């Protein structure tokens, strides 16, 4: 299907773009109070840009624009990390230590971190998908799909491939054994293993709720992932950047 | 329920010939675990973890926060793996395990 | 100069805490500065950033090791005062892994240019951050995230030389083990505990049955990460696909994170809980791993793969020692193995290797032989502890089993035709690695951890070892039938290996949960 000739899609997406921008801005800026946050907002706007590029089959902004957006997010996170280290001796410390700093600062920090994550994730989402969209060159759309691509190197492929029929028997054997084992183990687990009810952490939930109400941050999820687990969130952002760089390296190597 | 999805994922992972299908099965398994984690923090009749004026019981916010991390890592892994598989296809013109010497 | 006022103002505890926490953050901060330089000012200075980060981390590690004399016992550093908070954990055992990581870091300073593009340096920095974070962390979920950071860097670093199949294979196994690990975390949380290591060691406070499921899942995950028996096949192709800089990191540190996790998350809680069946499982699988690794090395044809596969042998011995409660010799073995394996990888780069004939200078061969005899098959601490007494148990056949497998291993290393080249001296990296080996082992002997056996015993054992090596070498050279074994039997296809993972999951599960079955 040629998406490029569809007038409806083009017009509709062009008209919807400002609304998507508005929505993602809302999701990140109210991440402290309502469901949402930097990741969700970044994914919303990033996916929208990817859809636009799929339809128009060209780049809306050049790569360096998104690289800079991403970088700004990283630098904000870095500033927060070092500042926290300077203030309290822990990375990202002093945001809202449970029973400590003042509440306007905590709210501002949540907003700041959400914005950093929003910038970073939206930039990287576009960059990751763009690599697959413009796999062969940066100018023309060539979707990276192993089965659709016809360009192969004949000399190498004959050396590296082995005929499929040769190993078909082995694979069938593995499949049969696997099916039997999985069926048996499911039955055994259902019949013989005693079930246990997961413990609910009521005590810690009360602590989180108290902290949230103390600083008037209404979204308790963001109290957790920007609070005591903030380094996990930071590292996860690092993994995203690593992926962007990694796909660039893998794709670019000839 | 999640046990059945897990069994389907494991079966697909072991038997699939196509590498991309293998990666998809891996993400099925990972999503099963994420589903399990979130349901372990679920309390029947409780609200979403948003603070409201009334004092209503809410579900555990910790699994939700952690699984956000796990989901993003899963997405990153999938895209990196698929990039590598596309390169492998460019080199050998196949993505089937049964046709590759190295596997 | 008078340092006393400085020392008084900076309290040792506080300084140590700051150093310990900032250890994994150094590469990330350097990466951010380098990225800013690259995109904002368009200056390609990333190689210097990588070098600076390496030097800073080496210095930090040295300072931590020096300061650790003043610190006694374990430390838990909580980010915030909450039970779900991220925790950093210090214990004296972690310094061994830090030492093992510092060795390839020092050697990497010599070969930093072999990573070509600026992006590769950035990925290398991420990889370093993941590596060092695994040492520092004291939190199960944080361990998972650091592990992912490290392993995703490794996937990209492996594919430098266009070996995408190795990279994909590594990815599949890494993802399977990570999924099992994540499942363990889920079960751990639903047993009532939180994520810090300290909750695992207060195991009796929580429900025992889900706790055991969690430990069992961790155990399987680290079996795969550490390449214990049923899945040891991936190590050789995956580790040898990269260039020698990355290979030395992978072989001397990354695979031992499996041991790190096995020690902190499986063996220690299992000992507290008294789950002896788990230790028996680890013992049996380690023994099988030792045997299988020596056979893999014996049949493997490519030399770099031989070097990579010999790591599995070490993993087996370390697992065996740990399951018998001998942590200190096991950790010393990990520490001394690091420069030895890096030395082999760096030396391989200087060899001329074409189809089972290896050319190098005489000096290099002598160095190589010393390294091989000293550490590869016969590292004194491990074998002497196994021989003298295994804690309370005294098992004589362990000694002969290890000697014979070590003989097969050395036979596998020497089964090639060696030719002496006229010129050439060993590179600076190799000599540094040798110096580090000597330094570490002299520290080991001066600290008198475990006594050496008598000279007569040692001579007999060396003779047995060399005879076994000689026999296996001649066997390989005389029988051309053996040359094709590696393609047919050692490397099963991917689906079979995945099936084996599932089989080991079920077997260990039945063994462990038989008492609990209703």
Task: Give the start-to-end residue ranges of the domains of chain C.
Answer: 4-513
- Residue C199 is predicted with a pLDDT of 83
The number of C-beta contacts closer than 8 angstroms across A and B is 155
Best mutation target among B19, B24, B66, B95 (most C Cβ atoms within 10 Å) is B66
Q: Report if residue A130 sits inside a domain.
A: yes
| pLDDT bracket for residue C352 (50, 70, 90) | confident
Q: Report if residue A222 sits inside a domain.
A: yes
- Which has the closest alpha carbon to C125: C99, C155, C153? C153
Contact criterion met (CB below 8 Å) for C386 and C321:
yes
Residues 6+ apart with CB under 8 A from A188: none
CA angle C124, C126, C129 (to 5 degrees): 110
Residues spanned by the domain of A54: 3-144+198-252
Residues 6+ apart with CB under 8 A from A136: A142
- Residue C175 is predicted with a pLDDT of 92
Q: Report if residue A111 sits inside a domain.
A: yes
Higher pLDDT, C34 or B56: C34
DSSP codes joined into one string, C312-350: HHHHHHHHHHHHTT-HHHHHHHHHHHHHHHHHHHHHHHH
Does A250 contact chain B (CB < 8 Å)?
yes
- Residue C472 is predicted with a pLDDT of 82
Kindly determine whether residue A171 and residue B15, on different chains, have CB atoms separated by under 8 Å: yes
Q: Report if residue A65 sits inside a domain.
A: yes
**pLDDT per position as a tens digit, C50-108:** 888 999 999 999 999 888 887 778 888 887 777 888 889 998 889 989 989 998 898 88
- Residue C446 is predicted with a pLDDT of 67
Quote the CA–CA distance of B99 and B89 in Å, as a whole number: 11
Contact criterion met (CB below 8 Å) for C150 and C134:
yes
Kindly determine whether residue A160 and residue B7, on different chains, have CB atoms separated by under 8 Å: no
Higher pLDDT, B65 or C494: B65
Of B11, B17, B43, the CB nearest to A182: B11
> In this prediction, what percent of chain C has a pLDDT beyond 90?
15
Hey, which residues 93-112 in chain A have their CB within 8 Å of chain C? Answer: 93, 97-99
The number of C-beta contacts closer than 8 angstroms across A and C is 159
- Residue C517 is predicted with a pLDDT of 63
Kindly determine whether residue B61 and residue A205, on different chains, have CB atoms separated by under 8 Å: yes
What are the structure tokens assigned to A148, written together?
């659709």
Of C148, C162, C237, the CB nearest to B102: C237
Nearest CA in chain C to B96: C494
Kindly determine whether residue A170 and residue C493, on different chains, have CB atoms separated by under 8 Å: yes
For the segment A149-158, the average pLDDT, to the nearest whole number, is 47
Contact criterion met (CB below 8 Å) for C348 and C378:
no
Reported ipTM:
0.93
Quote the CA–CA distance of A146 and B90 in Å, as a whole number: 8
Q: Which chains touch A (3 or more CB pairs under 8 A)?
A: B, C
Q: Which of A134-143, B5-14, B62-71, C200-209 has the lowest mean pLDDT?
A: A134-143
Residues spanned by the domain of B20: 2-44+57-99
**pLDDT per position as a tens digit, C251-299:** 889 999 999 999 999 888 888 887 788 888 888 899 898 888 888 888 8
Rg of chain B over CA atoms, in angstroms? 19
Contact criterion met (CB below 8 Å) for C207 and C191:
yes
On the question of pLDDT at A154 being above 60, the answer is no
Helices and strands (H and E) in chain B: how many: 3, 0
Looking only at the bridges linking them, the beta strands covering C357-361 and C417-421 are parallel
Nearest CA distance, A167 vs chain B (angstrom)? 6
Phi/psi for C90 (5° steps) reads: -115, 130
Q: Report if residue A218 sits inside a domain.
A: yes
For the segment C476-500, the average pLDDT, to the nearest whole number, is 72
CA B96 to chain centre: 22
Does A212 contact chain B (CB < 8 Å)?
yes
Kindly determine whether residue B40 and residue C186, on different chains, have CB atoms separated by under 8 Å: yes
On the question of pLDDT at C150 being above 90, the answer is yes
Nearest CA distance, B56 vs chain C (angstrom)? 22
Nearest CA distance, A251 vs chain B (angstrom)? 7
Structural domains in chain A (count): 1
Q: Report if residue A172 sits inside a domain.
A: no
On the question of pLDDT at C202 being above 80, the answer is yes
Residue C165's Cβ-side half-sphere holds a number of Cα atoms within 13 Å equal to 22
Quote the CA–CA distance of A203 and A112 in Å, as a whole number: 29
Q: Report if residue A174 sits inside a domain.
A: no
Q: Report if residue B78 sits inside a domain.
A: yes
Residues 6+ apart with CB under 8 A from A167: B98, C493
Nearest CA in chain C to A95: C80
Does A143 contact chain B (CB < 8 Å)?
no
Structural domains in chain B (count): 1
Kindly determine whether residue C169 and residue B102, on different chains, have CB atoms separated by under 8 Å: yes
Of B14, B37, B102, the CB nearest to C165: B102
Higher pLDDT, A254 or A192: A192
Q: Which residues of chain A does C190 touch, with a Cβ-Cβ cutoff of 8 Å?
A: 196, 198-199
- Residue C378 is predicted with a pLDDT of 52
CATH number, residue B65? 1.10.287.3510
Q: Which residues of chain A does C18 touch, with a Cβ-Cβ cutoff of 8 Å?
A: 89
- Residue A145 is predicted with a pLDDT of 60
Q: How many residues in total does chain B contain?
A: 103
**pLDDT per position as a tens digit, C397-449:** 777 787 778 778 878 877 777 777 766 667 777 777 777 777 777 776 666 55
Quote the CA–CA distance of A223 and A212 in Å, as a whole number: 7
| pLDDT bracket for residue B91 (50, 70, 90) | confident
């Amino acid at each position: 299907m040629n998406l490029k000739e569809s007038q409806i899609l083009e017009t509709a997406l062009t008209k919807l773009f400002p609304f998507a921008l508005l929505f993602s801005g809302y999701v990140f800026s109210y991440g402290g109070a309502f469901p949402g946050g930097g990741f969700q907002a970044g994914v919303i706007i990033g996916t929208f840009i990817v859809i636009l590029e799929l339809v128009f089959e060209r780049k809306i902004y050049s790569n360096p624009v998104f690289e800079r957006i991403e970088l700004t997010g990283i630098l904000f996170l870095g500033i927060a990390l070092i500042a926290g280290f300077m203030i309290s001796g822990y990375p990202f410390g002093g945001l809202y230590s449970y029973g400590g700093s003042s509440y306007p600062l905590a709210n501002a920090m949540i907003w700041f971190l959400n914005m950093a994550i929003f910038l970073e994730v939206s930039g990287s989402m576009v960059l990751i998908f763009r690599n697959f969209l413009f796999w062969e060159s940066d100018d023309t759309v060539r979707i990276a799909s192993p089965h659709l691509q016809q360009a192969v190197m004949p000399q190498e492929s004959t050396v590296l491939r082995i005929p499929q029929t040769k190993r078909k028997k082995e694979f069938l054997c593995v499949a049969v054994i696997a099916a039997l084992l999985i069926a048996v183990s499911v039955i055994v687990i259902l019949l013989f293993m005693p079930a246990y009810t997961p413990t609910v952490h009521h005590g810690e939930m009360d602590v989180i709720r108290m902290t949230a109400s103390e600083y008037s941050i209404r979204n308790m999820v963001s109290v957790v992932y920007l609070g005591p687990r903030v380094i996990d969130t930071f590292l996860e952002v690092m993994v995203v950047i690593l992926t962007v760089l990694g796909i660039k390296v893998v794709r670019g190597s000839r | 329920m999640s046990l059945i999805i897990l069994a389907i994922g494991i079966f697909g992972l072991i038997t699939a010939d196509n590498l991309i299908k293998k990666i998809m099965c891996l993400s099925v398994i990972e999503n099963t675990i994420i589903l399990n984690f979130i349901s372990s923090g679920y309390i029947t009749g409780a609200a979403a973890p948003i603070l409201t004026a009334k004092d209503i019981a809410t579900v555990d916010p910790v699994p939700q926060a952690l699984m956000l991390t796990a989901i993003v890592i899963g997405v990153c892994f999938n895209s990196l793996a698929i990039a590598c598989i596309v390169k492998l296809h460019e080199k050998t013109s196949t993505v089937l395990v049964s046709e590759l010497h190295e596997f | 100069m008078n340092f006393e006022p400085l020392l008084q103002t900076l309290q040792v505890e506080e300084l140590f805490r700051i150093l310990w926490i900032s250890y994994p953050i150094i590469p990330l901060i350097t990466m951010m500065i380098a990225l800013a330089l690259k995109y904002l000012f368009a200056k390609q200075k990333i190689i210097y950033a990588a070098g600076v980060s390496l030097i800073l981390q080496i210095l930090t590690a040295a300072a931590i090791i020096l300061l650790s004399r003043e610190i006694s016992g374990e430390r838990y550093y909580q980010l915030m005062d909450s039970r779900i908070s991220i925790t950093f954990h210090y214990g004296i055992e972690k310094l061994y892994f830090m030492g093992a990581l510092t060795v390839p870091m020092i050697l990497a300073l010599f070969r930093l240019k072999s990573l070509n593009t600026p992006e590769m340096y950035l990925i290398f920095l991420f990889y370093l951050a993941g590596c060092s974070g695994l040492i520092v962390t004291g939190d199960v979920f944080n361990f998972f995230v650091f592990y992912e950071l490290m392993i995703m860097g490794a996937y990209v670093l492996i594919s430098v030389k266009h070996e995408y199949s190795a990279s994909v294979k590594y990815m599949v196994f890494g993802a399977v083990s990570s999924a099992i690990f994540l499942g363990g975390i889920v079960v751990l949380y639903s047993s009532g505990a939180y994520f810090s290591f300290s909750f695992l060691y207060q195991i009796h406070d929580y429900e025992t049955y889900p706790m055991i499921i969690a430990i069992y899942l961790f155990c399987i995950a680290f079996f795969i990460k550490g390449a214990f028996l049923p899945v040891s096949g991936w190590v050789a192709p995956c580790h040898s696909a990269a260039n020698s800089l990355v290979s030395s990191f992978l072989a001397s540190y990354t695979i031992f994170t499996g041991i790190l996790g096995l020690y902190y998350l499986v063996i220690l809680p299992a000992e507290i809980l008294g789950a002896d069946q788990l230790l028996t499982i680890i013992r049996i699988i380690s023994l099988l791993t030792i045997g299988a690794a020596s056979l893999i090395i014996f049949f493997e044809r490519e030399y770099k793969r031989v070097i990579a596969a010999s790591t599995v042998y070490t993993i087996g011995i370390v697992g065996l020692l740990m399951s018998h409660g001998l942590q200190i010799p096991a950790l010393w073995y990990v520490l001394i193995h690091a420069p030895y394996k890096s030395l082999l990888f760096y030396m391989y780069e200087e060899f001329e290797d074409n189809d089972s004939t290896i050319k190098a200078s005489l000096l290099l061969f002598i160095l190589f032989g010393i390294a091989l005899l000293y550490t590869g098959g016969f590292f004194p601490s491990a074998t002497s502890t196994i021989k003298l007494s295994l804690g309370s148990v005294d098992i004589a056949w362990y000694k002969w089993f290890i000697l014979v497998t070590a003989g097969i291993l050395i036979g596998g290393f020497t089964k090639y035709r060696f030719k002496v080249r006229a010129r050439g001296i060993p590179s600076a990296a190799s000599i540094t690695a040798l110096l580090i080996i000597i330094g570490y082992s002299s520290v080991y002997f001066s600290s008198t951890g475990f006594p050496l056996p008598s000279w007569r015993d040692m001579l007999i054992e060396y003779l047995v070892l060399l005879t076994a090596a000689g026999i296996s070498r001649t066997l390989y050279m005389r029988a051309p039938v053996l040359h094709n074994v590696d393609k047919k039997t050692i490397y099963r296809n991917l689906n079979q290996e995945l099936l084996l993972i599932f089989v080991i999951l079920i077997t260990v599960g039945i063994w462990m949960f038989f008492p609990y079955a209703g």
